């Protein structure tokens, strides 16, 4: 049975499997959630690392900025010297510096001056030996281009560019050849094969991400421009106290997510620009059995003053939700591209499990996108999953949607027995000419004071 409920006068809302909702008059007041009072307390715990004034110029360690000289060993020596001295800045001056993998150590700020470009090699062998990462499950794979494991007080800063050169490498070819390896890794995770035995790298085809900082504390990524990545751009993995500020990302390859906090906590993403081939920001917490084994949530995340251009989702929560995602706050962001599929995107399913809850969004401007708010608990369309996720307590208010090419709102619970619950969309302005909204398998969906 279908019911219709108006989100505002003159606009239709198609509802199936409706389990309890209400649409309020435009003038009715929806009280702002008290949870926003938690943001200052979260921000007080997010403190960017400070570094001594020592500087280690990579050219003094043999780096040559001609775009052809291999500077891998020069970066390694400069970082080791900086770390051994007690920390400081490893400075990259103007020029083009070709390198393989760069591994950061505690106390090191890799600083790119204006006019500096780090070019990452197009040879996959320059990203060996394999290191610990998490893709569809934890494994040992090609090193990310910039990597750290278990380090404290690390940073990548400056006005320069990180160029992955992925489109000029073999990495795009890995996409077509990766399916057997991805399926094998999922199977290893499901069978609890020890991570040290989940070895990929040469002879396999799982692409590395650009920047992965794993099990690190006190992280700063600021100012740099990142282009042409093999896969995800920035992945803080199992990290605490992370600041991503003023970073500019432009990369349109397959799975080119912008910034993916992954089972991390106390994360601030602000004043960044995202123009990506996949989700701009995607908050993750592991997937399937291996994610439930690790069982670490992403939580206490603040996103503000960011610009979202092309991408699948602007601010995305999921689809990797096994460890749970909670306490996410988004405010004062702008979304503006006909190639942005969804401004706000929530996705999970019954193989991922876990939860999405306590997500708060306010005062955002969507100038142009295809869909405004998209929430699904049936992301993979797999009806046989046994791990039912929980999706509840989402509050979106005081946002303006100027042009939507497809529809304002899509909310899809898994089933009548596993609904989305407790979603408030309040005092938002939607375009009157936008398409029909759709809600199915949902409870306590409050549409309050919204206007065209």
Alpha carbons 21 and 422: distance in angstroms, whole number: 9
Sign of CA dihedral 417, 422, 426, 430: negative
Instruction: Give 3's pLDDT tier (boundaries 50, 70, 90).
Output: very low
Alpha-carbon distances of 309 from 81, 98, 248, rounded to whole Å: 40, 29, 11
Judged against a pLDDT cut of 60, whether residue 13 lies above it is answered with no
pLDDT of amino acid 11: 37
Torsion of CA 350, 287, 248, 67, to 10 degrees: -140
**Quick one: average pLDDT of 288-307?**
98
User: Domain of 450?
Assistant: 1-30+279-452
318: tokens are: 């999921």
Count of structural domains within the chain: 1
Q: State how beta strands 211-214 and 234-237 pair.
A: parallel
pLDDT of amino acid 15: 54
Q: Do 272 and 335 contact (CB within 8 A), yes or no?
A: no
Q: Do 258 and 250 contact (CB within 8 A), yes or no?
A: no
427: tokens are: 């005092």
What contacts 297, CB < 8 A, 6 or more positions away? 263, 265, 285, 323, 324, 325, 326, 354
pLDDT of amino acid 31: 67
Q: State how beta strands 248-251 and 225-227 pair.
A: parallel
What is the percent of the chain where pLDDT is above 70?
93
Of 317, 263, 321, 323, nearest in space to 293 by CA: 323
* Partner residues linked to 356 by β-bridges: 325, 391
Alpha carbons 359 and 342: distance in angstroms, whole number: 16
Sign of CA dihedral 322, 308, 312, 424: positive
Pick the range with the lowest mean pLDDT from 24-33, 41-50, 154-163, 194-203.
24-33
The strand ranges marked E within 178-239 are 211-214, 217-222, 225-227, 234-237
What contacts 112, CB < 8 A, 6 or more positions away? 92, 118, 156, 157, 158, 159, 160, 161, 162, 224
Q: Is 137 exposed, middle or buried (0-12, 13-18, 19+ CB in 10 A)?
A: buried
**Quick one: average pLDDT of 128-151?**
98
Distance between the two ends of the chain, CA-based, in angstroms?
A: 27
pLDDT of amino acid 44: 98
Q: How far is CA 359 from the centre of its chain?
A: 15
State the CB neighbour count (10 A cutoff) for residue 21.
18
pLDDT of amino acid 451: 86
Judged against a pLDDT cut of 60, whether residue 223 lies above it is answered with yes
Q: How far is CA 35 from the centre of its chain?
A: 22
pLDDT of amino acid 196: 98
Is the residue at 243 inside a domain? Answer: no
Is the residue at 231 inside a domain? Answer: no
Judged against a pLDDT cut of 50, whether residue 212 lies above it is answered with yes
pLDDT of amino acid 250: 97
pLDDT of amino acid 92: 99
pLDDT per residue as tens digits for the range 423-433: 999 999 999 87
Q: Do 328 and 318 contact (CB within 8 A), yes or no?
A: no
**Quick one: average pLDDT of 337-354?**
97
Average pLDDT taken over every residue of the chain: 93
Instruction: Give 434's pLDDT tier (boundaries 50, 70, 90).
Output: confident
**Quick one: average pLDDT of 274-295?**
98
pLDDT of amino acid 4: 40
- Largest Cα–Cα distance in the chain? 73
The answer to whether the bond into 157 is cis (omega within 30° of 0) is: no
Is the residue at 310 inside a domain? Answer: yes
The answer to whether the bond into 129 is cis (omega within 30° of 0) is: yes
Alpha carbons 58 and 65: distance in angstroms, whole number: 10
pLDDT per residue as tens digits for the range 15-67: 544 444 444 444 444 667 899 999 999 999 999 999 999 999 999 999 999 99
Half-sphere exposure of residue 208: CA atoms within 13 angstroms, side-chain side: 36
Of 381, 435, 375, nearest in space to 403 by CA: 435
In the block, which residue shows the tokens 């570094």? 51
Alpha carbons 439 and 103: distance in angstroms, whole number: 47
Alpha carbons 308 and 275: distance in angstroms, whole number: 6
Of 322, 309, 240, nearest in space to 281 by CA: 309
pLDDT of amino acid 383: 72
Is the residue at 303 inside a domain? Answer: yes
Alpha carbons 179 and 174: distance in angstroms, whole number: 9
Is the residue at 192 inside a domain? Answer: no
Is the residue at 17 inside a domain? Answer: yes
CATH at residue 398: 2.160.20.10
Let me know the angle formed at the C-alpha of 232 by 229 and 235, rounded to the nearest 5 degrees. Answer: 125
pLDDT per residue as tens digits for the range 383-401: 778 999 999 999 999 999 9
pTM tops 0.85, yes or no: yes
Is the residue at 445 inside a domain? Answer: yes
Judged against a pLDDT cut of 60, whether residue 69 lies above it is answered with yes
Of 241, 320, 242, nearest in space to 278 by CA: 320
């Amino acid at each position: 049975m279908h019911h219709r409920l108006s989100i505002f006068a003159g606009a239709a809302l198609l509802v199936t499997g409706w389990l309890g909702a209400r649409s309020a008059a435009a003038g009715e007041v929806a009280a702002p959630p008290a949870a926003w009072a938690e943001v200052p307390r979260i921000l007080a715990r997010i403190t960017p690392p400070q570094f001594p004034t020592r500087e280690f110029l990579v050219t003094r360690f043999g780096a040559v900025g001609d775009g052809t000289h291999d500077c891998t060993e020069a970066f390694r020596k400069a970082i080791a010297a900086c770390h051994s001295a007690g920390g400081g800045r490893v400075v990259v001056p103007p020029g083009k510096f070709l390198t393989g993998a760069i591994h950061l150590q505690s106390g090191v700020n890799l600083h790119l001056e204006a006019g500096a470009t780090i070019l990452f090699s197009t040879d996959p062998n320059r990203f060996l030996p394999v290191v610990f990462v998490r893709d569809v499950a934890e494994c040992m794979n090609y090193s990310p281009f910039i990597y750290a494991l278990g380090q404290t007080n690390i940073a990548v800063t400056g006005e320069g560019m990180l160029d992955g050169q992925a489109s000029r490498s073999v990495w795009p070819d890995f996409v077509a050849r990766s399916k057997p390896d991805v399926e094998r890794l999922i199977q290893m995770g499901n069978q609890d094969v020890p991570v040290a035995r989940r070895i990929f790298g040469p002879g396999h085809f799982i692409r590395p991400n650009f920047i992965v900082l794993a099990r690190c504390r006190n992280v700063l990524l600021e100012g740099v421009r990142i282009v042409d990545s093999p896969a995800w751009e920035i992945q803080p993995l199992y990290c605490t106290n992370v600041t991503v500020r003023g970073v500019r990302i432009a990369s349109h390859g397959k799975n080119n997510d912008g910034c993916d906090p992954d089972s991390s906590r106390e994360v601030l993403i602000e004043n960044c620009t995202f123009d990506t081939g996949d989700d701009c920001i995607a908050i993750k917490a592991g997937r399937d059995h291996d994610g439930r084994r690790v069982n670490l949530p992403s939580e206490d995340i603040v996103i503000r003053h960011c610009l979202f251009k092309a991408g699948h989702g602007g601010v995305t929560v999921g689809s990797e939700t096994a460890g749970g995602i909670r306490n996410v706050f988004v405010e004062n962001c702008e979304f503006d591209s006909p190639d942005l599929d969804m401004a706000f995107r929530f996705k999970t399913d019954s193989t991922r499990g876990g939860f999405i809850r306590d997500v708060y969004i306010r005062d955002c401007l969507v100038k142009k996108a295809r869909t405004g708010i998209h929430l699904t608990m049936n992301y993979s369309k797999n009806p046989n999953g046994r791990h039912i996720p929980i999706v509840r307590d989402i509050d979106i208010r005081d946002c303006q949607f100027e042009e939507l090419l497809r529809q304002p709102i899509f909310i899809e619970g898994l089933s009548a027995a596993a609904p989305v619950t407790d979603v408030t969309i309040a005092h938002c302005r939607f375009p009157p000419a936008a398409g029909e909204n759709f809600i199915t398998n949902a409870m306590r969906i409050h549409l309050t004071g919204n206007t065209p």
